[in-house]
């Protein structure tokens, strides 16, 4: 269920010689925070033929594939549900089926009469006239699979991992990968050129990488605002592509099925969302930030957010101190429980020290299937090595070890 891989920083060491600063955060009015639109953005000659405005989803959308005519596309949710737009026809789905791993990618056959879904463990599901040519299911992976692209003759496909590694099956040829390029973010999707002699990779921060004869149409990997991007699909002529950006389909952070939290929870989430973007104070010194002293600041950010809605938690820099404060007040929630928007999520194995308690974030959404999205301070790296306030997920809390490279040891409900 990977959309963006967060590489979190430990949040407990002060930087030697740094001068504490308290610049004003970029606090936006609550009314100005939120997202709108269809969730599908076109580049080059790619048209928009429909989206999810007004649709209630059980799980977040994570993948898409275009029809041969370019006048339609399919979109898949993480639970394997498939939605057809334009001239796309429905050929089946994994919706309602128990999966070993969430669906992360989708590709269509050349005639549009079938498609493949791929899960994070590399398992392949074929529908319509889509053939099976192998999978990574049951094999050891360095990083989860995040996307699939079909060979133009329908007799093979490529899989891509979060690290940019490429796996070719059937008659799909290898044209390179991003596995050793140190791109500073995760790869979330792949699309093939019409002749099958190249492919595009999409990064979580919306940057596009080209291999073989794939042509670059934008956006630049280092161009803000870095909208979280889940998938890429190419137009039939290869002169454009769509980027699936699920953030843009949300009209608020209220998702049907989210549990009720403290009265000001939604305000806390919207305030956190108003801060998303690169840290504006990095030029002032290492870890300088708008939320407290010049030190690692994920906990400073989370406690600042709670302070804005009247929660009297001290401005802790160490995540373990947040746990101690919550435990003393009976506010700790088990990592196996369902969190709620506005909760804090604490990563690591326990509150003992910065090695065992390295990061925290604010829960933004809780989807009906249990997936969560979070807003994280001092996270990244974003393009150009910046640290930022980022939107992370969706992911299942139980999968945090593989998704975020660290487990969740507690939630805090202030």
Per residue in 105-119, pLDDT (tens digit) is 899 999 999 999 999
Q: DSSP states of 88-150 as a string? A: -------TTS--SS-EEEEEE-TTSSEEEEEETTS-EEEEETPPP----TTS--SS-EEEEEE
What pLDDT is recorded for position 112? 93
The Cα 338–Cα 223 span in angstroms is 36
Q: For 189-243, what is each residue's pLDDT tens digit? A: 899 999 999 999 998 877 899 999 999 988 876 666 666 777 787 877 888 887 8
What pLDDT is recorded for position 237? 85
Task: Tell the burial category of 56 from Cβ atoms under 10 Å away from its Cβ (0-12, 13-18, 19+).
Answer: exposed
The Cα 23–Cα 410 span in angstroms is 30
CATH 3.90.1720.10 domain position(s) in the chain: 253-412
Torsion of the alpha carbons at 53, 55, 60 and 63, rounded to the nearest 10: -70
Give the C-alpha distances (Å, rounded to integers) separating 414 from 59, 258, 317, 352.
26, 17, 17, 20
The Cα 128–Cα 126 span in angstroms is 7
Q: At what angle do helices 298-308 and 265-273 cross, to 10 degrees?
A: 130
Query: Cβ(86)–Cβ(63) under 8 Å?
Result: no
- Cα angle vertex 388, ends 385, 392, to 5°? 110
First to last CA, the chain: 27
Closest CA to 187 of 175, 173, 199, 169: 199
Could you give the 3-state DSSP secondary structure of residue 24?
A: coil
The Cα 352–Cα 90 span in angstroms is 51
Q: For 297-316, what is each residue's pLDDT tens digit? A: 999 999 999 999 999 999 99
Structure tokens given for 128: 């319509």
Higher pLDDT, 279 or 37: 279
> Residue 143 pLDDT more than 80?
yes
Higher pLDDT, 129 or 44: 129
Q: How many other β-carbons are positioned within 10 Å of the β-carbon of residue 98? A: 7
- Cα angle vertex 127, ends 83, 1, to 5°? 55
Higher pLDDT, 76 or 195: 195
Could you give the 3-state DSSP secondary structure of residue 226?
A: coil
> Residue 180 pLDDT more than 60?
yes
CATH 2.120.10 domain position(s) in the chain: 35-249
Query: Cβ(38)–Cβ(50) under 8 Å?
Result: yes
Place of tokens 């999966």: 99
Closest CA to 64 of 149, 121, 172: 149
The Cα 138–Cα 117 span in angstroms is 16
What pLDDT is recorded for position 224? 60
What mean pLDDT value characterizes the chain? 80
The Cα 66–Cα 64 span in angstroms is 7
**Rg of the chain over CA atoms, in angstroms?**
21
Name the CATH architecture for the domain at 35-249: 6 Propeller (2.120)
Give the C-alpha distances (Å, rounded to integers) separating 239 from 193, 200, 265, 287.
9, 12, 44, 41
Residue 153: pLDDT band by 50, 70, 90 thresholds? Answer: very high
Pick one of 3.30.70.270, 3.40.50.2300, 3.90.1720.10, 2.40.110.10 as the CATH number of 253-412.
Answer: 3.90.1720.10
DSSP lists the bridge partners of residue 363 as: 374
Q: For 235-291, what is each residue's pLDDT tens digit? A: 778 888 878 765 543 423 444 445 556 678 888 988 988 887 766 555 667 788 889
The mean per-residue pLDDT over the stretch 393-414 comes to 88
Closest CA to 46 of 240, 191, 189, 230: 240
DSSP letter at 365?
E
The Cα 401–Cα 326 span in angstroms is 23
The Cα 317–Cα 184 span in angstroms is 25
Q: For 58-71, what is each residue's pLDDT tens digit? A: 777 777 888 888 88
Distance of CA 318 to the CA centre of its chain: 25
- What proportion of the chain, given as a percentage, has pLDDT over 70? 77
The Cα 258–Cα 265 span in angstroms is 11
The Cα 398–Cα 370 span in angstroms is 10
The mean per-residue pLDDT over the stretch 88-104 comes to 89
Higher pLDDT, 1 or 68: 68
């Amino acid at each position: 269920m990977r959309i963006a891989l967060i590489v979190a920083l430990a949040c407990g060491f002060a930087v030697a010689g740094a001068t504490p600063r308290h610049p004003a955060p970029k606090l936006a009015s609550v009314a100005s925070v939120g997202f709108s639109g269809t969730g599908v953005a076109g580049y080059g000659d790619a048209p928009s033929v429909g989206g999810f405005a007004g649709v209630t989803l059980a799980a977040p959308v994570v993948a898409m594939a275009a029809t041969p005519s370019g006048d339609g596309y399919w979109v898949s949710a993480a639970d394997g549900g498939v939605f057809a737009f334009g001239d796309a026809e429905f050929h089946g789905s994994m919706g309602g089926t128990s999966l070993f791993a969430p669906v992360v990618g989708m590709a269509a056959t050349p005639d549009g009469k079938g498609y493949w879904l791929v899960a994070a463990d590399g398992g392949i599901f074929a529908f319509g006239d889509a053939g099976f040519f192998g999978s990574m299911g049951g094999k050891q992976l360095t990083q989860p699979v995040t996307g699939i692209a079909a060979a133009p003759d329908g007799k093979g496909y490529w899989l891509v991992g979060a690290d940019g590694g490429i796996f070719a099956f059937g008659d799909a040829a290898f044209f390179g990968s991003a596995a050793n390029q140190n791109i500073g973010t995760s790869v979330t999707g792949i699309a093939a050129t019409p002749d099958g002699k190249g492919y595009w990779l999409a990064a979580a921060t919306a940057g596009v990488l080209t291999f073989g004869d794939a042509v670059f149409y934008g956006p630049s990997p280092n161009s803000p605002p870095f909208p979280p991007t889940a998938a890429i699909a190419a137009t039939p002529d290869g002169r454009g592509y769509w980027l699936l950006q699920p953030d843009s389909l949300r009209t608020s952070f209220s998702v049907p099925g989210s549990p009720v939290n403290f009265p000001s929870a939604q305000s806390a989430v919207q305030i956190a969302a108003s801060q998303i973007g690169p840290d504006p104070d990095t030029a002032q010194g290492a870890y300088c930030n708008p939320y407290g002293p010049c030190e690692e600041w994920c906990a400073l950010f989370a406690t600042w957010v709670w302070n804005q809605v009247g929660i009297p938690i001290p401005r802790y820099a160490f995540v373990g101190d947040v746990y101690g404060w919550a435990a003393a007040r009976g506010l700790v929630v088990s990592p196996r429980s369902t969190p709620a928007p506005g909760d804090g999520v604490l990563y690591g194995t326990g509150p003992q020290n910065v090695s065992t308690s390295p990061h925290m974030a604010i829960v933004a959404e809780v989807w009906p299937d249990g997936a969560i999205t979070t807003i994280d301070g001092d996270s990244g790296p974003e393009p150009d090595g910046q640290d930022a306030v980022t939107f992370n997920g969706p992911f299942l809390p139980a999968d945090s070890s593989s998704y975020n490279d660290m487990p969740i040891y507690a939630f805090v409900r202030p």
